[in-house]
Amino acid sequence: MFLINKDEMRVWHDKSRRDSLQTGFSGIADMIEDKLVRHPLIEYGGDLARISEERAACRINAPQGRVMFD
């Protein structure tokens, strides 16, 4: 999702590193939500409520955007 633009890739890299130093990993979720708003996917369109719902359901719970299973 962030491999298209070198500037966005740099921001993604920085946020994923910063997020790895704290709990919550919200920087990555912020960036994903922002990109979905700026560049809508067919599944979400411009529906901000749907994007918000998907963010709430986000399972990122580990550094650098990974998902760890219990």
- Within a domain: residue 39? yes
What's the average model confidence in pLDDT over 51-62? Answer: 82
Query: Closest Cα partner for 15 from 52, 70, 68, 60?
Result: 60
Q: Is the pLDDT of residue 62 over 90?
A: no
With 0-12 / 13-18 / 19 or more C-beta atoms within 10 angstroms meaning exposed / middle / buried, residue 12 is buried
Q: What span, in angstroms and rounded, lies between the C-alpha atoms of 63 and 70?
A: 15
- Within a domain: residue 59? yes
Give the tens place of pLDDT for each residue, 12-32.
778 777 766 666 677 778 888
Residue 51 has which token pair? 């994007």
- Within a domain: residue 19? no
pTM above 0.95, yes or no: no
Range of 41's domain? Answer: 1-13+26-65
What mean pLDDT value characterizes the chain?
A: 78
Q: For residue 49, what pLDDT is reported?
A: 93
**Looking at the 3D structure of the chain, how many domains does it have?**
1
- Within a domain: residue 42? yes
- Within a domain: residue 60? yes
- Within a domain: residue 51? yes
Q: For residue 2, what pLDDT is reported?
A: 52
- Within a domain: residue 50? yes
